[in-house]
Structure 1
């Protein structure tokens, strides 16, 4: 159930921006967790390894969506409960 809520969260882009802003600006989140999140994002941006090339329109975008959801899932996993509750990610 949590996976589907988090997966849906990716497509509600207007909610993810305030969540990520609060995550990175919050003093409740450990610096190590923030650095891991930044590292995951940078690795994906610098090395955009595609299992399926993007020229296969819908199927090619699927692996990008899955990687983005895995990164977001790791960020959510490291987020304090109070922030998760505010964005209904529990």
Structure 2
């Protein structure tokens, strides 16, 4: 239940992720392997058409997609070095 509330909290800080992702992929401190893994997360999300809740259920289908994107962002945050997380004030709390 605690992870669920962390992900809900992440929705309200979504504006931080653009600059964070830009710095993550631009940074020399992040190994290439971690960058490729992150790209793989996004590619897997886009290429695999499976949804837990189909998108024709308008609201609930979108909530499912937002949840998956937040899960991917959370994994990328885990891959980022501490200095980058501190710079953007993004933590795993």
Shorter chain as denominator, the TM-score bin is: 0.7 to 0.9
Tell me if the contact between 2:10 and 2:70 (Cα under 8 Å) persists in the aligned partners: no
Tell me if the contact between 1:9 and 1:16 (Cα under 8 Å) persists in the aligned partners: no
Question: Which residue pairs with 1:29 in the alignment?
Answer: 30
RMSD: 2.1
Q: Deviations over 1:16-53 (max 9, x none)?
A: 11110000010010111000000010011111311111
Secondary structure of the residue that 1:88 maps to in structure 2? coil
Gaps of 5+ in 1: none
Q: State the number of aligned residues.
A: 90
Moved over 3 A (4+): 1-14
Of the structure 1 ranges 57-66 and 22-31, higher mean CA displacement relative to structure 2 is found in 57-66
